[in-house]
A and B are shown apart, each in its own frame.
Chain A
Amino acid sequence: MIKEINDKNFGEEITNSDSIVVVDFWAPWCGPCKMLSPVIEELAKEMGKEVKFAKVNVDENPLISSKYRIASIPTVMVFSKDTVKETMVGFRPKADIKKIIQRNL
């Protein structure tokens, strides 16, 4: 399952998570984001037990987007507590993202 998070609950959802959190920054007008979301959903199905998956709509959540300096979407970040472990900019094949998540487990 992919949790929709926002400016208000971002901190608690990320920091209070026992597992690492994969956050997909997206917007409805972005084509590559639309292609990436089913890929993230599949990963969430496969890895949902060990990893938390979340998404942030950058249109509605400018505070978080500017805090993490999102300059291009889609951007996928891997968080451990409040540290950014990985940043992936642009669409990536599923196998790539999986590898990057796995090395942070």
Chain B
Amino acid sequence: MGERYDIAIIGTGPAGLEAAINAKIRNKNIIIFGSLDLSPKLVKAPKINNFLGFYNVTGKDLKNQFAAHISAMGIGIVRERINNVYAMGDYFALMVNEKIYEAKAIILATGIEYAKPLKGEEEFLGKGVGYCATCDAPLYKGKIVVIVGYNKESEEEANYVSELSSKTYYIPMYKGEYKLNPNVEIISRKPMEIVGDDRVTKIILAQGEIITDGIFMLRDSLSPSQLVPGLQIEEGHIKVDRNMMTNIEGCYAAGDCTGKPYQYMKAAGEGQVASLSAVTYLDKANEKK
């Protein structure tokens, strides 16, 4: 286990970057996770006229300005995808596959590009619906399992499950070659709804249905409540107060993930508030010691 950072920021859009520069100015030890493109939405914007101080710029221009700004301040982006964040009490554990980062406070600036859950998915979570096939596979020994795979990595999980289950169905949500064990049955139909009584009984497809004991939804992008277990969500957005604090102490959120309007300046402003709130939280925690 490495060092414990003061603040970990998840996301490199305007909210995350603004949070990063403010925390850096306040001399905090930070780590920021994201991509070198900073934000796919930003790069795609053809023309921006509502970002104060930058008239008639393209998204790419603005992205280059952002990149130059953080690099001038010595902020480097860690290009890793956080799978889960666990609130351990006085710190947070950020999981990247087998690796763990630790931080005293976190700022979520993940944007709002995640798939909507399937009908019935949230209702049956933990009652047959799961997000981690490798975690829960042994509980489905000798049972029927459906895997809805959104990426290539899901295939490996399907193969692992097929060694334990009595029957594994794989519903691919992408096109390509599938490297699956011969006993995995591929069903190329769109899933519509998960149904059951007190537990999952079947998944309804665009055509037909599959009777099953368990369903694993293996997506690329996680919703915030899956990313941070225990996080309170309201109408599809992370619930925050005026200080950008969530229901979890030490966990802040900023940008599109907290709600509308989805705008660069709003995101940056929230990132700044979140960052300063996190700094205040850290200073208070230090005083206690």
Q: B-contacting residues of A (Cβ < 8 Å)?
A: 27, 29-32, 35-36, 38-39, 42, 58-59, 65, 69-73, 75, 87, 89-96
Contact = CB atoms under 8 A, between A and B. Distances in A.
B242 to A, nearest CB: 21
Contacts of B86: 32, 35-36, 91, 93
10 contacts: A27-B138, A29-B138, A32-B132, A32-B229, A70-B139, A71-B127, A71-B139, A72-B130, A75-B126, A93-B89
Given A35-B93, A71-B126, A93 B139 contact: no
Contact of A71 (B84, B95, B128): B128
Given A32-B84, A39-B88, A39-B89, A89 B139 contact: no
A98 to B, nearest CB: 10
Given A31-B95, A31-B135, A71-B139, A90 B87 contact: no
Interface of B, helix, strand, loop or mixed by DSSP? mixed
B128 A93 contact: no
A27 B139 CA distance: 10
Contacts of A93: 86-87, 89, 229-230, 248
Contact of B229 (A29, A30, A75, A92): A92
B241 to A, nearest CB: 16
A19 to B, nearest CB: 23
B80 interface: no
Interface string B118-136: 0000000111101010111
Interface in B232-269: 248-249
A94 B125 CA distance: 20
Nearest to A35: B86
Contacts of B138: 27, 29, 58-59
Interface string B219-230: 000000000011
Given A32-B135, A91-B86, A91-B229, 14 more contacts: A30-B135, A31-B95, A31-B135, A35-B93, A38-B88, A58-B139, A69-B199, A72-B135, A73-B136, A87-B126, A93-B248, A94-B87, A94-B89, A95-B248
Contacts of A87: 126
A57 to B, nearest CB: 11
Contacts of A38: 88
Interface string B12-45: 0000000000000000000000000000000000
Interface in B89-145: 89, 93, 95, 125-128, 130, 132, 134-136, 138-139
Nearest to A90: B229
A101 B214 CA distance: 29
Interface in B125-169: 125-128, 130, 132, 134-136, 138-139
B135 A73 contact: yes
Contact of A89 (B84, B88, B126): B126
Nearest to A96: B230
A69 B199 CA distance: 9
Nearest to A98: B89
A8 to B, nearest CB: 21
A32 B88 CA distance: 11
B87 to A, nearest CB: 4
